[in-house]
């Protein structure tokens, strides 16, 4: 059900914005059931910007590859804060080990 919700939100987003990055993210998510950290940022940012109903915590982010962990490490703190709800607790710990602070819960 969560996967379907994410795919529907991605489909609405890809329809709202004719953007190759978003179409690629939709294809990637449908195939892999997760997003890369960079894709997660773009997707969650654009979903928010277009006011498309979604639950950030439903999206899964892959940190399996070293490149994805490097991308997370090099990501601006504001971008990490945006994808934080999509990270699992172990991924959040990794993000903190990579130098990112948990967002304020206020």
pLDDT of residue 105: 58
Backbone angles phi, psi at 18, to 5 degrees: -75, 85
Lowest mean pLDDT segment, chosen from 2-6, 26-30, 42-46, 67-71 = 2-6
Over range 76-89, report the average pLDDT: 96
Burial class (CB in 10 A: 0-12, 13-18, 19+), 64: exposed
Q: How confident is the model at residue 3 (pLDDT cuts 50, 70, 90)?
A: confident
pLDDT of residue 104: 80
Rounded Cα distance, 69 and 58, in Å: 20
Q: Quickly tell me which residue has 């690629």 as its tokens.
A: 24
């Amino acid at each position: 059900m969560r996967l379907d919700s994410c795919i529907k939100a991605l489909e609405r987003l890809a329809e709202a914005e004719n953007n190759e990055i978003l179409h690629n993210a939709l294809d990637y998510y449908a195939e892999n059931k997760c997003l890369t950290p960079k894709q997660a940022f773009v997707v969650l940012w654009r979903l928010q910007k277009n006011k498309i109903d979604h639950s950030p915590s439903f999206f899964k982010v892959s940190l399996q590859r070293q490149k994805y962990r490097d991308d997370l490490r090099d990501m601006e703190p504001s971008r990490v804060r945006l994808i934080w709800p999509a990270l699992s607790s172990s991924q959040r710990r990794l993000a903190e080990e990579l130098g990112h602070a948990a967002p304020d819960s206020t």
